Structure 1
Amino acid sequence: MAKIMYFLTVFFIILHVPGIFTEQENPDACPIRKFNPLGQTCQKACTRNQECGLKRRCLCDGDCGLSCVTTTRSCPWPVNIANAKTGLVKGTRNFGDQMSVLCHPGFKMASGQETALSRCQGDRKWSVITPCDVLDPVKSCDVPHTIENGFLMENGSTFSVGTSVHYQCNLGYALEGHKVTQCMENTTWSQPAPTCRQIFCPPPPEVKHAYLLAIQKSEYAVFEEINYLCDRNLDMDGSHNVTCEANGNWSAIPICRTRCKIPAQRSRVVYKGSKRWVHEIPGTVHHLEAVTFFCLNQTCSYPATSQCFDGILSLPSCYEEPTWIQYNFFPKNIVSEITPCTEL
């Protein structure tokens, strides 16, 4: 994998360096010879091959311009450059061939580059042999302060200038102070570390017709639970178990509801899935329980349901209470006893 990455990097450099492979073939693209080019010994200047003799050719030699060079001459190999890896682009090291220079991670050249191509010159020297030096150290802040009952949302041991970190408190604690702080140019944090304050709930409220099963305290910790119980013959609407939540409030408080009496006396009703006379139903109907009555539709009966809600069970508007005579002498003619309309 390392070799693959190396050759991909070299290929990328070649694609993005202008003028590669063109200076020698196109004399017009060759620069004018500089006087005493830095780090290079120039060969005889020329304009065409005839000026160079039999063994040399008039080719572009970098800053030396068009020069008489021996193409079979080679540059030294291998080449060791401090803190860098070198490689031959084509596998050869003759005049005009190229060597890649890749600085090791954390190093760069004096020019600021981390990669470069070096060319084999007419004087049999490589054009670039600049060592790679260590990068300028990045300014960073000390590790942010930890907080009791809280934590930093970012991990790491190095926090460079401009980096922001976020504090968060554990469940059951509220953050006081600044949630976010940033590493500034002077390598200090912009805000002091916050604190985490424990959250408490106040004493639970009283519930009418109920009593509390809990130790009486002035405050209750998050997730602490209490229980309510309704007085006898009352139904609890909601959960009897109440919890102190993370926002400092209690979960839903229950209500004690009154049970209902069935307002009919001389009829059969459907209660808890069975049809029975009212006097056969013991006690009262629980809160939210349903009772089905029967109404008259000419010669047949149809059901009409009513629900108990906090002591009130209303008779359906279509319901008519049988008379004492009907109930005692003609019970089979009572509406609840005649043929249902669904069977006709």
Structure 2
Amino acid sequence: MWATPSYSLIILLICLTKVVEIRAQCERPLGGENMVLTDESGKNTFPEGSSLTFRCSTGYQPDQSGGSRSITCTGQQWSKLGLQCKKKSCGSPGALTHGRYLTPDGILFGAITTAECDEGYLLVGPKTRSCLDNGWDQRAAVCEAVKCLPPPTIQNGNFDPSKDSYDYNEAVTYSCTGDYTLIGKETITCLADGTFQQPLPQCLVIRCDGPRIDNAVRIEGKAPPYKYKDIVRYRCNDGYRMIGLAFLTCEVNEWNPSPPVCTAEIGEGGKTDHSRNIGIGIGVGILVALIAGIGVCYAKKRTGWGKVPTRNEGGA
């Protein structure tokens, strides 16, 4: 008759034990920032007394505090984790001869550095490098002196000096052959990007016919034909006035500025104004007459004006 109660007691004790076991568990810990569990198991709960160890995530390392990396499950709670993780430093990316590495993001894990060369040098190698878990990636770049290949030749012209390569800022000068004229910049230099300045000059035959300006005369400059940059000057004939500029320069097959125009001066009533010439003629005539009159008076004064007859002379 006592068998049944004993069996029930055993069952009760077993259940109580299970309840205690269930209650004496710890959930999977989260740990601190930038760290992970070394235990890669997929368990979500851990029994009383379990110990787990953390490590820093990729790109991070323990700080100098020396805190414990392990925790223990006690009374359904994990012990305090002492591990603290900080970003790894990649250190200086190194010196770059004739250049430098720029580190605006710093030199810690995840930062990116950019290589920059001095003017006159070209970067050979990767322009950027990243700070990874094991240091800076890729190899260091180098800065090499700029070299320019010979510039293009131009038709009916050549350049000097002629070399296999040219240093940064080195110049060449173009010239034309025969009767060709150089149009453009005659000297170009090797630029920092390893190319010569553009655009290139041209060699052209430049001729300008004599400008046709009615009622005008050339007063400066040679007779046609004219070459590039030859200059002439014109003046309008009397009775005409110039509209435009008197000086003309032979440019690329045309005169600059355009030839002026000599137009007849118009007086009142819409007729050609000759009054200036007439006025000048009258003025000159008056001046001549005045001078002649002065001369006569002077001569009379020297020889006398003639005697006035008296009563006793010539008669009574």
Query: TM class by shorter-chain length?
Result: 0.3 to 0.5
TM-score (norm 1): 0.41
Q: Which has the higher helix share?
A: 2
Q: Which has the larger radius of gyration?
A: 2
TM-score (norm 2): 0.44
